[in-house]
Amino acid sequence: MKQTNKASNSQMGVVIVGHVDHGKSTLIGRLLNDTDSLEDGKINDIKASCEKRGVPFEWSFVLDAFQAERDQAVTIDTTQIFFSTKARNYVIIDAPGHREFLKNMISGAAQADAAVLVVDTIEGVREQTKRHAYMLHLLGMKQVCVAINKMDKAKYDAKAFEKASRESVEYLNSIGLSAAHIIPVSAFEGDMMAARGDNMPWYKGKTLTEALDAFAVSSPPVALPLRFPVQDVYRFDEERILVGRVESGILRKGDTVFFSPTNEKSTVTAIENWPNKEGLIEAQAGQSIGIKLDDRIFVERGHLGSHEKNLPMLSNVFRANIFWFSNNALKVGNVYKARFGTAEATVTVQSIDTLVNTDDLAKQDNAGEVAKNAVAEITLRARDMLPIDSHDDNGQLGRMVLYENHDVVGGGLINMEGYPDQRQSKEPKSENIYKVAHSVTPDMRAERFGHYGGVFWFTGLSGSGKSTLAVAVEHEIFNRGLNAYVLDGDNVRYGLNSDLGFSPEDRTENIRRIGEVAALQANSGVIILSAFISPYQADRDKARVASPHNFYEIYIKADLETCEGRDPKGLYKKARSGEIKQFTGIDSPYEPPRNPDLVVDTENNDIDTCVEQIVNYIFAHVQTDGQVDVSQKSKGRVVALKDMKQKGG
């Protein structure tokens, strides 16, 4: 096919999508013909082939690369086709419309700068129209035009166009997409393709080619923070070269590059690319390069280079808006390989948060599974910390693909909304710190007070009963002679953490401080009843690290519907009305404990039953009754020596 070079404009990628049989292939074939982008004699060859086979001429045959496609009269693969207007060069990504090849449509759309959504004038918006439009929305497509096709079959009726146009706009607006142009076309006859034709004088807008020429070509994201995913490490004698492509930002010789997730950094001494023998002073987004460092730090494939002032997030948990392609349904607990950038990680499906019906946009929360061709928002958890950028922050690295047995089974966009950056400095910011060794040990305190200290960490949704139970338990065990104290979320935020809000980062810092305070008090022999939502498993794990031998995670279990029905403080009502933002369970995530030490079901049990359960558990883990298991002294653990029922617990 012909392609005319346009010196002043770069090439634009366009994806053509829409319901099967709405005329995408016909539209592309006619577009190639009307822009003089076909090889000489191509149309005559197709006409001769049609006559030989006894079938009518179809513009869609221009695209058919395989004989099987002509026989089936459907397009079965994503195909790239080049054409040119007077303004610029184009590459069209022809995406098939039927369900079986949805994966190819998404692959094509991910490469495009703009999209043309084809809608049949008479049939209007159908199932695949909605599905493809929703995919464009989730892929972050900003430049969309709608071609209302087959106007010749509607006898070029303006009212028919208005009806199909209105239907298209309503659906696009409902999913957050906006069409820059809505154009009535007859792909078969050529009206409003590259030329206006004489059949629709009532339409005053742009032709299809004029609309495409009005779109902007995406420029490399040099203004974004530096992201250099390491593709490989080459070794030549004693020299190491880190190779990869600069996905965003600018990298200069002499820059200090910080690598995640290892938190190591080094200075770039050279930037190399083939065939340039002199080396580069700088490299920008889109360039594939090799870099040399002045220190031999540990860097491998999948690590992500950045400048220290604009680091990616580190997390072992993230959300993803995904499209599911596999015949095997995605279910909670399933394990997959996730790839983004050059990184690969083993991830487990922690939850299926929302299942979306692309036809009517109905959403189902906490679905049991995600079937083939479905769209869902899920939460994934990895074994290790991963360098992550949300798609909203960096479209280059915010896309993800899921694999199972080397097959692509899903893909979509990474979303870190509601989750904190788990990156922490390895060393305290303060200097000259020396821990004081206590001469009074936990065992000595236990002998004096008759019990050990401990951190009993109550976690659950707002309204699950954490504070109510903590206060009741405190009263009960205090009456039995044990020294207990409740740390409650609201009380702590009045003083110690009054400077913190409810952003993911502030929530993490809130729990970090509480965990450290609880650990100090427990070490002094106090039984701490810590009642906090503490929504993130990673933060609760860090609190456990602060008290490694006497930390007990207690899940106060009640589902969202139950908690919202109670709403003792009226917070859910305010969150639903938008008065409170980032409220856990509504617009901020809650991660139930993976393996809690105790589960207390307040949804199905009364307060007295729950209090008794917790009190028995505490006595079993802190009581000494004047006796201490000497073999466990070094670990600070307590062995219950008597049956709690005999003690009235």
Q: What is the number of other CB atoms lying within 10 angstroms of the CB of residue 561?
A: 9
* Beta bridge partner(s), residue 271: 280, 291
Output DSSP code: residue 440: S
Q: Can you tell me the distance from the alpha carbon of 622 to that of 637, in angstroms, rounded to the nearest whole number? A: 8
From residue 9, alpha-carbon distances to 44, 223, 319 in Å are 32, 20, 37
What is residue 422's three-state secondary structure? Answer: coil
In our burial notation (b when 16+ CB lie closer than 10 A, e otherwise), range 565-595 reads ebeeeebbeebeeeebebbbbbebbbbebee
Output DSSP code: residue 547: S
Q: Is 262 exposed, middle or buried (0-12, 13-18, 19+ CB in 10 A)?
A: middle
Q: Can you tell me the distance from the alpha carbon of 127 to that of 612, in angstroms, rounded to the nearest whole number? A: 55
Residue 133 main-chain phi, psi, to 5 deg: -60, -40
Q: Can you tell me the distance from the alpha carbon of 94 to that of 80, in angstroms, rounded to the nearest whole number? A: 6
Residue 304 main-chain phi, psi, to 5 deg: -120, 120
* Beta bridge partner(s), residue 225: none
Q: Nearest Cα to 486, choosing from 526, 539, 533? A: 526
Output DSSP code: residue 295: S
Whether 186 contacts 34, CB under 8 Å: no
Query: Annotated catalytic residue: which of 84, 168, 315, 534?
Result: 534
Q: Can you tell me the distance from the alpha carbon of 267 to that of 274, in angstroms, rounded to the nearest whole number? A: 21
Q: Can you tell me the distance from the alpha carbon of 188 to that of 97, in angstroms, rounded to the nearest whole number? A: 18
Reading the block at residue 442, the tokens are 């936990």
Residue 610 main-chain phi, psi, to 5 deg: -65, -40
Whether 334 contacts 348, CB under 8 Å: yes
534 given a catalytic annotation:
yes
Which residue bears the tokens 């700088």?
282
DSSP-derived secondary structure for 577-641: HTSS-S-BTTTB-----SS-SEEEETTTS-HHHHHHHHHHHHHHHHB-TT---GGGGGGT-----
From residue 558, alpha-carbon distances to 366, 469, 473, 604, 612 in Å are 14, 13, 18, 8, 18
Please state whether beta strands 369-370 and 330-331 pair in parallel, antiparallel, or not at all (unpaired): antiparallel
In our burial notation (b when 16+ CB lie closer than 10 A, e otherwise), range 40-50 reads eebbeebeeee
Known catalytic residues?
534
